[in-house]
Structure 1
Amino acid sequence: MLRTLSRFSLIVLATFASSGAGAAVADGGSYRIAPTSSIGFHVGQVGGGGIDGTIKEVSGQFRLDPSDPARASVSIDLKAASVATGQPRIDAFLQSEAVFDADAHPDITFRSTRVVQTGPRTARIEGTLTAHGVSRPETFQAELTNQEKGRFVFHVVGDIYRTPYGMGVGTPIYSNVVNFDMRLEGQR
């Protein structure tokens, strides 16, 4: 569930794509993460199945500097109370003290510390994820999937271990690994 935050860092990928992605990337500066972005997650279960959900409230921004991609930055903010699985009982449990503790720790954040280009349209985003009051380094993979003047769309994936964040309830029946699959849209 925490993985969702790191997807945001993929937006920084646009900075690296400037070598062949088109004129839109040349537009440096600040971009906001659009509310049309989506953060999906999956926690596997022994014997198959598991828990699939989304984190609905996402915001933040990223800065691009086409002349110096290493200066790119990403800041992502999620609301723990917006976790949704389509099952009210599971949603309440995930928002409770046992998992996100949304009342005591309402915000999940990701702040990039480094962006490394791995291909013409891909990058590795490193940064600090804070959830449930715990901050740890995490890494996500991003791919630039669409760009237009003033708009970038990234597909971001990553896996995060939940026990270091104090969210290990249910292991080993439920996986310790949370798989994140995100679509992040940045707009001027």
Structure 2
Amino acid sequence: MRARILGLAAAAACLAMPVYAAVVLGDAAGSYTISQTGSAIHFTIGKAGGGGFDGAFARFKGMIRIDNNDVSRSKVDLTIYPESVGTGQGRIDAFLRSDAVFDAANSPEIQFRSTSVTRTGDTSALVSGRLTARGKTFPEKFTAELDGLKGGTIKFHVTGKVLRSRYGMDVGTPLYSNVVDFDMTLTGKRG
């Protein structure tokens, strides 16, 4: 009876392990086109005393290339279209698109180009690169965690913090935080 209980416990433990635990970055070698299906780019800006607002970008494109021989030579390119920003509040959306913040009419793209990828675990990496918005470029870092690899589709959970004042978007500070918290799901299709 004891052996049976231990056997059931071992089977339950195996079932409870995340599927991605068996997938390592080296297994994911190849080039992937970021798909808007299954992907999401969310951000949060806090407000003094609590609150703030959340938003997302509906349009973006990019690619992820994972080098099997040397993960540090992997690349990430991401382009976000700021006119697609949405908070669920039309007045705030229009303000964010205006020349006070994104200036989407004159700066229609926000670009991130990686300069290095540093492996931090079997399924994680620190991605460093150059972010360009409103004609200004600065180094930024994001953490990426491999969430899955199946049938030519790869999925990453990416987080990072960006100071908006660097890019001339500091309107509303200090009432609204200078720090923009990004929380992204990037799903790529091989090929």
Q: TM-score, normalization: structure 1?
A: 0.86
**1:167 offset after TM fit, Å?**
0.3
**1:87 offset after TM fit, Å?**
0.4
* 1:35 match: 36
**1:171 offset after TM fit, Å?**
0.1
* 1:8 match: none
Q: TM-score, normalization: structure 2?
A: 0.84
**1:27 offset after TM fit, Å?**
5.3
Alignment map for 1:116-135 (pairs within 5 Å): 116-135=118-137
**1:25 offset after TM fit, Å?**
5.1
Question: Which sections of structure 2, spanning at least 5 residues, go unmatched?
Answer: 1-21
- Identical-residue share of aligned pairs (%): 49
What is the number of residues matched between the two proteins?
169
Task: Tell me how far apart the structure 1 counterparts of residues 30 and 120 of structure 2 sit (CA, whole Å).
Answer: 22
Task: Tell me how far apart the structure 1 counterparts of residues 162 and 114 of structure 2 sit (CA, whole Å).
Answer: 16
Structure 1 moving runs of 4+ over 4 Å: none
Where 2:91 maps in the other structure, the secondary structure is helix
Task: Tell me how far apart the structure 2 counterparts of residues 87 and 95 of structure 1 sit (CA, whole Å).
Answer: 12
**1:119 offset after TM fit, Å?**
1.1
Where 1:61 maps in the other structure, the secondary structure is strand
Higher relative contact order (CA 8 A, sep 6+): 1
Task: Tell me how far apart the structure 2 counterparts of residues 65 and 141 of structure 1 sit (CA, whole Å).
Answer: 17
Instruction: Provide the aligned C-alpha RMSD in A.
Output: 1.6
Task: Tell me how far apart the structure 1 counterparts of residues 163 and 183 of structure 2 sit (CA, whole Å).
Answer: 15
Cα deviation digits, residues 28-68 of structure 1 (max 9, x gap): 33210011210000000011110100011011112122122
The residue type paired with residue 56 of structure 1 is A
* 1:83 match: 85
Question: Which sections of structure 1, spanning at least 5 residues, go unmatched?
Answer: 1-19
Where 1:170 maps in the other structure, the secondary structure is coil
